[in-house]
């Protein structure tokens, strides 16, 4: 999938609209994890060095078309300025008189960040009028927000109808190059690790991975309980998608017929539903009774998954192994992060995507120990499932 690249364009004096992904976690009005901001820096720096007038636009959270202070991108400007080493301007709206005035007032090498795109209903609705307003005065459109490429919104698709040159940014190019190789020609043994809450969120990618004959498929997190219930286990009050039980049975059959080894947890951390912290303990999966809730994989499973990664040449990981946001139920996810880093050091090419998985790698200080941190959770899954991503299709093809 060869798309026009920002590297191919003469940017001097041109006004660029760069769709970035600054949908970052905040704490106390400050950026808590700047991974996505760092990911956009190469494109921003290239544009500045080539003398462009740079307009950045992003969404933050889900404000639902209403301006909410807690979702304002002005909370991101300071960290962006620090990381980029230059003062970044800010417009308190993304369209209208102030935004237009600041866009048109940019000089070569200057950078302006617009307010949250999702403060306007026209963004998610892909409204043509809103898209045209975003495009006013813009010479070149650049999409560097892979994490939103699976959404047909005004800033990812609609705007391209009003700008002649629409190119991929450097981060977008990297994501497509890395994930494209995994999709078409992964080095083997190829191992996929999937976690998170819902089987339904990951059906297309699971089936795609089995069709690609991934060598091993490791499934953890709450989604594993749907598979356990499908096998007749008692899962207590653990999260289960009952309507997905036939699908889980189908997936297990597909894997067996394709010769794909599907590994599920053998033990888990459980709590009594009435006294979570004091009742925490580790038990085998088949010892689970009706009053228990499973919240994380256990140490036996961590060791099993660690061994399963031995000798791997390609690893993809999306989704936590437990209720990652609540300590101590982050232990399984953190252990897996260390196992992926170890396998990478031993020669595997590893790709980690999805907010909790990336957070685990960051918190463990292992960001530099994996091959690629993907900025797109849902987008990466859809891409690897072989689906067309609207935000990529809308870009100009390379000559």
Q: Which two tokens stand for residue 389?
A: 């991503």
Domains of the chain, by residue range, sit at 6-173, 186-384
Burial (CB count within 10 angstroms: exposed 0-12, middle 13-18, buried 19+), residue 152: middle
What is the predicted pLDDT for the residue at 297? 97
Check residues 325 and 271 and name the one with the higher pLDDT.
Answer: 271
Which residue do the tokens 């091993």 mark? 216
> Could you tell me the pLDDT band of residue 310, with boundaries at 50, 70 and 90?
very high
Calpha distance 138→55 (Å, rounded): 9
Is the pTM for the entire model greater than 0.85? Answer: yes
Instruction: State the average pLDDT over residues 74-86.
Output: 96
pLDDT bucket at 326, cuts 50 / 70 / 90: confident
CATH of 6-173, one of 3.40.50.1260, 3.40.30.10, 3.90.1170.50, 3.40.1410.10: 3.40.50.1260
CA dihedral 38, 39, 43, 48 (to 10 degrees): -10
Of residues 358 and 299, the one with the higher pLDDT is: 299
Indicate whether 150 pLDDT > 60.
Answer: yes
In the set 36, 50, 53, 174, the catalytic residue is 36
Task: Read off the tokens for 116.
Answer: 């949250």
- pLDDT band at 382; cut points 50, 70, 90: confident
- Say how many C-beta atoms besides its own lie within 10 A of residue 243's C-beta: 10
pLDDT of res. 1: 57
Report whether pLDDT(126) > 70.
yes
* Whether residue 378 lies in the annotated active site: yes
Q: Please state the rounded mean pLDDT for residues 338-347.
A: 97
* Structure tokens belonging to residue 291: 């009053």
Q: Does domain 186-384 have CATH number 3.40.50.720?
A: no
Q: State yes or no: is 36 an active-site residue.
A: yes
pLDDT tens digits for range 255-282: 999 999 999 999 999 998 766 667 899 9
- The pLDDT, as a whole number, for residue 287 is 93
Examine domains 6-173 and 186-384 and report if their fold is the same.
yes
137, pLDDT greater than 60: yes
Q: Angle of helix 331-345 relative to helix 355-363, nearest 10 degrees?
A: 70
- Average pLDDT, whole number, for the chain? 94
Q: Could you tell me how far CA 397 lies from the centroid of its own chain?
A: 24
Considering only CA atoms, which of 65, 54, 60, 64 is closest in space to residue 88?
54
The pLDDT assigned to 358 comes to 86
In angstroms, the CA 126 to CA 108 distance is 30
The one catalytic residue in 355, 376, 377, 391 is 355
Query: What pLDDT does residue 197 have?
Result: 87
**Percent of the chain beyond pLDDT 70?**
99
| Candidate list 61, 109, 311, 378, residue with the active-site label | 378
Q: Tell me, what's the pLDDT at 381?
A: 84
Q: Best-predicted range by mean pLDDT among 50-59, 210-219, 272-281, 324-333?
A: 50-59
Per-residue three-class SS string for the chain:
CCECEHHHCCCCCCEEEEECCCCCCEECCEECCCHHHHHHHHHHHHHHHCCCEEEEECCCCCCCCCCCHHHCCHHHHHHHHHHHCCCCEEECCCCCHHHHHHHHCCCCCCEEEECCHHHCHHHHCCCHHHHHHHHCCCCEEEECCHHHCCCCCCCCCHHHHHCCEEEECHHHHHHHHHHHHHHHCCCCCEEEEECCCCCCCCHHHHHHHHHCCCCEEEECCCCHHHHHHHCCCCCCCCCCCHHHHHHHHHHHHHHHHHCCEEECCCEEEEEECCCCCCCCEEEEHHHCCCCEEEEEECHHHHHHHHHHCCCCCEEEEECCCCCCCCCCCCHHHHHHHHHHHHHHHCCCEEEEECHHHHHHHHHCCCHHHCCEECCCCHHHHHHHCCCCCHHHHCCCECC
Mean pLDDT of the region 309-327: 93
Q: Quick one: which of 284, 249, 263 has its CA closest to 336?
A: 263
Alpha-carbon span 202 to 187, nearest angstrom: 23
Question: Would you say residue 364 has pLDDT above 90?
Answer: no
Tens digit of pLDDT for each residue in 175-208?
999 999 888 889 999 999 999 988 888 888 899 8
Phi, psi of 282 (to 5 degrees): -110, 130
**Active-site annotation holder among 198, 252, 280, 313:** 198
Give the position of tokens 């891409």: 383
* 11-20, 168-177, 199-208: least confidently modelled range: 199-208
pLDDT at 127: 98
Q: Is residue 218 within 8 Å of 263, Cβ to Cβ? A: yes
């Amino acid at each position: 999938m060869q798309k026009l690249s920002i590297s191919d364009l003469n940017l001097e004096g041109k006004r660029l609209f760069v769709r970035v992904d600054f949908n970052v976690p905040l704490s106390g009005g400050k950026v808590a994890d700047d991974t996505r901001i760092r990911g956009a820096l190469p494109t921003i720096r290239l544009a500045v060095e080539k003398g462009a007038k740079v307009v950045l636009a992003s969404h933050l959270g889900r404000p639902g078309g209403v301006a909410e202070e807690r979702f304002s991108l002005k909370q991101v400007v300071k960290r962006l300025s620090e990381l980029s080493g230059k003062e970044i301007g800010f417009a308190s709206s993304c369209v209208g008189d102030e935004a237009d005035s600041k866009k048109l007032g940019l000089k070569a090498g200057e950078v302006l960040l617009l307010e949250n795109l999702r403060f306007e209903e026209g963004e998610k609705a892909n409204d043509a009028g809103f898209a045209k307003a975003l495009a006013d005065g813009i010479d070149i459109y650049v999409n560097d927000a892979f994490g939103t490429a699976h959404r047909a919104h005004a800033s990812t698709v609609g705007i391209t109808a009003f700008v002649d040159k629409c190119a991929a940014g450097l981060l977008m190019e990297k994501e497509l190059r890395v994930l494209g190789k995994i999709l078409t020609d992964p080095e083997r043994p190829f191992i996929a690790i999937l976690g998170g809450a819902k089987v339904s969120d990951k059906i297309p990618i699971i089936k795609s991975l089995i069709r690609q004959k991934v060598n091993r498929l490791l499934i953890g997190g709450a989604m594993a309980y749907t598979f356990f219930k499908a096998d007749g286990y008692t899962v207590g009050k653990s999260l289960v998608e009952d309507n997905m039980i036939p699908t889980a049975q189908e997936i297990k059959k597909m894997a067996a017929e394709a010769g794909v080894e599907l590994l599920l947890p053998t033990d888990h951390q459980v709590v009594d539903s009435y006294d979570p912290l004091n009742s925490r303990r580790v038990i085998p999966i088949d010892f689970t009774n009706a009053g228990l809730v499973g919240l994380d994989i256990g140490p036996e499973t961590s060791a099993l998954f660690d061994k399963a990664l031995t000798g791997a040449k390609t690893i993809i990981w999306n989704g936590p192994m437990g209720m990652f946001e609540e300590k101590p139920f982050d232990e399984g996810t953190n252990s897996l992060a260390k196992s992926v880093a170890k396998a990478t050091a031993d020669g595997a090419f590893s790709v980690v995507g999805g907010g909790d998985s990336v957070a685990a790698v960051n918190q463990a200080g292992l960001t530099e120990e994996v091959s690629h941190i993907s900025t797109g959770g849902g987008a990466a899954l859809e891409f690897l499932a072989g689906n067309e991503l609207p935000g990529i299709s809308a870009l100009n093809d390379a000559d």
